[in-house]
Amino acid sequence: MRLTPGPARDVDLDSVDLFDLDLYTSGDPHPVWDVMRERAPLHHQVLPDGREFWSVTRYEDVHRVLADHREFTSERGTVPTHLGTDDVAAGVLMTSTDPPRHTEVRRPLGSKLTARAVKSWEDKIRGTVVRFLQPALDGEPFDLAEQALLLPAMVTGPLLGIPEQDWEELVQLTAMVTAPSDRHFKLGSEAATLAISHHELVTYVKEWVSKRRSDGSEGDSLLHHLMNVLPGGAPLSDEEIALDGYSILLGANVTTPHTVSGTVQALIERPEQFEKAQADPTLIPNLVEEGLRWSSAACNFMRYAVDDVQIAGGTIPARGAVVAWIGSANRDASQFPDPHTFDITRSNAKRQAAFGFGPHFCIGAPLARMTLRIFFEELLQRFGSIELAGEPEHLRSYFIAGMTHLPIVAKKRMTP
């Protein structure tokens, strides 16, 4: 998805198709969202096959939809690729479960992922980032987007308890779940790609759990921890562990690579911002927040109205699907003045909606923030400049905003 929008244009809201994959692969959704926020903050669309959904695009409305599980439930599905088919794992899969059960499963896992808890991983993550960046320092073209797909697995694999030989396969499978129409990940039809990837990921976690149970091995990884969670006083079944492990793998792998690529592209296109961050490393945490806002890698999430809901000047009927467009909320001028300007000194960048809101606020946000901070600390310390070495190629997905290719050439930073 283009992150720097083209000029404003007239938009026919009656013919807008927010599920048009070309809009995100080769088009430009930002002018569309700009018009929707102004003229149709609640937008209704019926797809050719009869499926329908409502969209909210303003920051405050996106916040309300994602934060209030009593009005908008997660227990029929949370991603638009599943629109029209209720999630068979509802009430079991953590992302498709509302409080109180969601809280009972999430809280003990969250205790392992607080900012204080992940601080102990900083040195390991820094070493991983340094190894990741090393090949780019030889001055040859380096495809950052392609290589960055593996970066989260390099960081979180040990934390999850996943052996290194499995990282590449799991990264491919999680990409298939989130971008089943992209040519790099598609196997047959979109439905087949989703079915294969879901089955393989759940099976992987089931077999992981079964092996640890059979050999009696103990550990401190997140998956080990999941085996010992006691929501309501009872342990999770192997099926529940497998589904929640699947959810954790998705969350770990699918957004950070695209935040990295989108933020680096923004710095390449705005060398003055690169130089400003390099001159003042204290700006790097805010650079991370602005990068999260700018890239909005998780472009949207879906909920279902529990009852008729009045919102954004209209009504979503009971059981209606509503898509909350995070990519639009993060460009809402009422929250972020001059929203289409990438500015690492933006005073309220931390209000960005990239991690969501409410009960399903990203559980891995502290780890993601730390990883991104370390990444840009090391990049700015080592690279004197970065240039494009070819055309970026955008991910074919209306759920994940990202790139499959971002060829760059970097020059080493000359130290005094």
Rounded mean pLDDT for each run of 10 residues along the chain, 416 residues in total: 87 93 94 96 96 98 97 93 83 87 88 91 95 93 96 91 93 92 93 93 91 81 86 84 86 90 98 97 98 97 97 97 98 98 97 96 94 97 96 95 96 80
Q: What does each C-alpha distance from 42 to 53, 56, 60, 325, 326 come to in angstroms? A: 10, 5, 12, 11, 14
Q: Where are the domains of the chain?
A: 21-412
Do residues 170 and 205 make contact, with C-beta atoms less than 8 angstroms apart?
no
pLDDT at 370: 96
Confidence (pTM): 0.95
**Distance, CA of 380 to CA of 27 (rounded, Å):** 31
Alpha carbons within 13 A on the beta-carbon side of 8: 5
The tokens for 180 are 């089943």
Do residues 256 and 263 make contact, with C-beta atoms less than 8 angstroms apart?
no
pLDDT at 416: 55
Do residues 362 and 355 make contact, with C-beta atoms less than 8 angstroms apart?
yes
Give the strand pairing for 321-325 and 52-56: parallel
Q: Is the peptide bond before 99 cis (omega within 30 degrees of 0)?
A: no
Which positions ≥6 away from 347 have C-beta within 8 Å? none
Do residues 366 and 358 make contact, with C-beta atoms less than 8 angstroms apart?
no
CATH H superfamily, domain 21-412? Cytochrome P450 (1.10.630.10)
pLDDT at 154: 93
